[in-house]
Structure 1
Amino acid sequence: MKNTVILAKLQTAIGAPAVPTGADDAMLVTNPSHTPVSATMVSRDLIRPYFGTSQQLSAGVHTELSFDVEIAGSGVPGTPPAWGLLLVGCYFAETVTDGSDVKYAPVSLKPDTPLTIYYYLDGLLHQLTDAYGTVSFDLESGAIPKMTFKFMGAYNAVTDTPLPAGTDFSKFLTPKLALSANTSWSMFGYTGPLKSLSLDIANSLNWFQLIGEEGAEVDDRQPTGKIVMELSKVSDQDWWTAAKDATLGPLTVQQGMMAGNIVLFEAPQAQISNLSYSDQNSKALLNGDLGLSPQNGNDELVITVK
């Protein structure tokens, strides 16, 4: 989709829309998908002496937007990546250690700083305010690692507005492909050949509506994932017993090897289940579903950028 720009900026408070600019707040994205008017339709169910549909009234009107962002660092250890504010809008807390790293850990209380997102499309401007979201992460051998975001925000009138001038994407680094030279991983101490891994924070994202208050919110999360790896010997790693016994153990994935462009994913209590087999180029593969449980609370998936 061409002639498209997405800008995003954290608000100072709920109900206080921000004003993102192309120079400071442009998001480098792929695969945008937009539902400009999402609502629950309430039928009037009128009784009349003839056939015909009744008018439907709109309740809970809001806007939804999803897009992908490449996984890469900020360029400088201890500097938040350009996409970090998107994680904050997905119920993550950002902790910056100057000169070292930036950590993102999930939270269970609604952040006070939702997002304002501008979506420009071919001369139209759509605005999402008080927006919150959810996110998933995908790494596949030989492909660009990506995050998929889905946001829900308050509806604002669509306007005829040209694309912003001076759009700057320089804060986004060129990603590294998921390859042996750039990617490492470990689960239960095993580090054998990996084909793909996906992790989904799986926020339960809803639009709530009360008389006097409505908006987007997350009321739970149930993080999951999927893994595909080369079939190993039992002596290398007994995945079958781990699945049978519902074993919990650490899962780590590091994308990037150079300081400033490292993104580390850590799940201290991962579980594998629903094992199955597949084939790729006559090579046997093991597939599994993943569950990510908290260890001490709000730590089931911690992301470190360094």
Structure 2
Amino acid sequence: MAAPMYWRDKRILFKLEGTYGTDAAPTGAANAILGFDVTLKPMEGQDQERDLEQPGMSANGTIPLDLHSKLTLTVDLSTSGAAGTAPAWGSLLRACAVAETITAGTSVEYTPIVNGQESGTVHISIGGTRYVMLGTRGTAEFMLDAQATPKIKFDLTGLFTLPADTAAPAVDLASWTEPLVVSHNNTPVFTIGGTALVMKTAKLALGNKVEPRFLVGAERVLITDKSELFETTVEAQQLAAFNPFQMAMAMTQVPVAVTHGTEAGKIASLSLPTAQMQRPGLSQSQGIKEWSLRLVPRAATENGQWSMTLT
């Protein structure tokens, strides 16, 4: 009897492609991903019914169409530890229509793009079976919750290939550094419209519209649109100090700033220069009045909705 295959015993590799849909051949030494909450749907698509008129009564066969793979995973939003050195998750974010700009020894900046979108190759080894996703693109969410480690959740879609039994690669995860808990001491800046607020949760969803497009002559996974959204829960204040209701009525656009980390090489700063306040909600936690705020990052300049800068 064959031994069982253990789900936790997996290796995930990701590497950006030089040519779309061509296996970039990621290696365990340079391209290993340290993630959690991993979900793999290796053979998504449709089954076309045959609806054949045939003698008797029985089910018809089907034909598989639109085959693609989906991978969801979450990683720590941790920096490389050295200013000007890209983090281990940088390549994943670049496959979400995001540009990476490195200033040597100083900073790494991530900003949204439309043209020049990159794609990647995923190799996942589970129990000696390797699943490969080509031409992979996706969307992401930055999540910062108080008294928890900051995270990035990725939803990736790639072209389907047949799995194969292959020896599991050895992986080097040294580039994945330990994250800092989101807290009063570790997260010194959280402001909306220049007003410092007491934050419980915050999330920026990139809102990429990811679509497989399979035609004669080209099979691709495309990011065809974007709709970013920033959501946060904060302690309510007197309206004289901060009035989200008036902002929503006036469709006011305000800057949002979040800085996490205090030491050089370990600082991540999220900036939304012109975010439109939407209708706020009201709730409570531990008997404390809270506001649930939603802001839509607007592009005051082309592709200037948001930026993430590591220093």
Fold conserved (TM > 0.5)? yes
Match of residue 129 from structure 2: 124
Alignment of 1:74-223 (within 5 A): 74-111=80-117, 113-165=118-170, 167-183=171-187, 184-223=189-228
**1:188-245, Cα deviation, whole Å (9 max, x unpaired):** 1111210101110010000001111111010000001211000111111111100111
Q: Is the 8 A contact 1:249 1:270 kept in 2?
A: yes
The counterpart of 2:44, out of the listed 38, 45, 60, is 38
Match of residue 22 from structure 2: 16
How far is the alpha carbon of 1:299 from its aligned partner? Answer: 1.4
CA separation of 1:284/1:43 partners in 2, compared to 1, >3 Å: closer, same or farther?
Answer: same
Q: Is the 8 A contact 2:121 2:136 kept in 1?
A: yes
Counterpart-to-counterpart distance in 1, 2:184 and 2:57 = 65
State the SS of the aligned residue for 1:175.
Answer: coil
State the SS of the aligned residue for 2:247.
Answer: helix
After the TM superposition, list the runs of 4 or more consecutive aligned residues in structure 1 that deviate by more than 2 angstroms: 45-56
Worse-matched range after superposition: 272-281 or 201-210:
272-281
Q: Is the 8 A contact 2:71 2:156 kept in 1?
A: yes
CA separation of 1:163/1:273 partners in 2, compared to 1, >3 Å: closer, same or farther?
Answer: same
How far is the alpha carbon of 1:13 from its aligned partner? Answer: 1.6
Q: Is the 8 A contact 2:267 2:310 kept in 1?
A: yes
Worse-matched range after superposition: 53-62 or 151-160:
53-62
- Percent identity over the alignment is 27
Counterpart-to-counterpart distance in 2, 1:104 and 1:199 = 14
Worse-matched range after superposition: 268-277 or 236-245:
268-277
State the SS of the aligned residue for 1:274.
Answer: coil
Q: Is the 8 A contact 1:31 1:67 kept in 2?
A: yes
Alignment of 1:220-259 (within 5 A): 220-259=225-264
Worse-matched range after superposition: 168-177 or 40-49:
40-49
Please list every run of 5 or more consecutive structure 1 residues that lacks an aligned counterpart in the other structure.
none
State the SS of the aligned residue for 2:195.
Answer: coil
Counterpart-to-counterpart distance in 2, 1:8 and 1:271 = 35
Residue 64 in structure 1 maps to residue 70 in structure 2: yes
Counterpart-to-counterpart distance in 1, 2:307 and 2:256 = 11
Q: TM-score, normalised by structure 2?
A: 0.94
How many residue pairs get aligned? The number is 304
Q: Is the 8 A contact 1:72 1:256 kept in 2?
A: no
Residue 297 in structure 1 maps to residue 302 in structure 2: yes
- Compute the RMSD of aligned alpha carbons: 1.3
Q: Is the 8 A contact 2:254 2:277 kept in 1?
A: no
Q: Which amino acid aligns with 1:128?
A: M
Q: Is the 8 A contact 2:270 2:309 kept in 1?
A: yes
State the SS of the aligned residue for 1:78.
Answer: coil
Q: Is the 8 A contact 1:110 1:217 kept in 2?
A: no
Worse-matched range after superposition: 172-181 or 52-61:
52-61
Counterpart-to-counterpart distance in 1, 2:116 and 2:72 = 20
How far is the alpha carbon of 1:49 from its aligned partner? Answer: 5.2
Q: Is the 8 A contact 1:110 1:218 kept in 2?
A: no
Please list every run of 5 or more consecutive structure 2 residues that lacks an aligned counterpart in the other structure.
1-6
Counterpart-to-counterpart distance in 2, 1:118 and 1:2 = 15
Alignment of 1:273-284 (within 5 A): 273-284=278-289
Counterpart-to-counterpart distance in 1, 2:63 and 2:116 = 30
**1:141-198, Cα deviation, whole Å (9 max, x unpaired):** 1011100011111111111123212x11111111001101111211111112101011
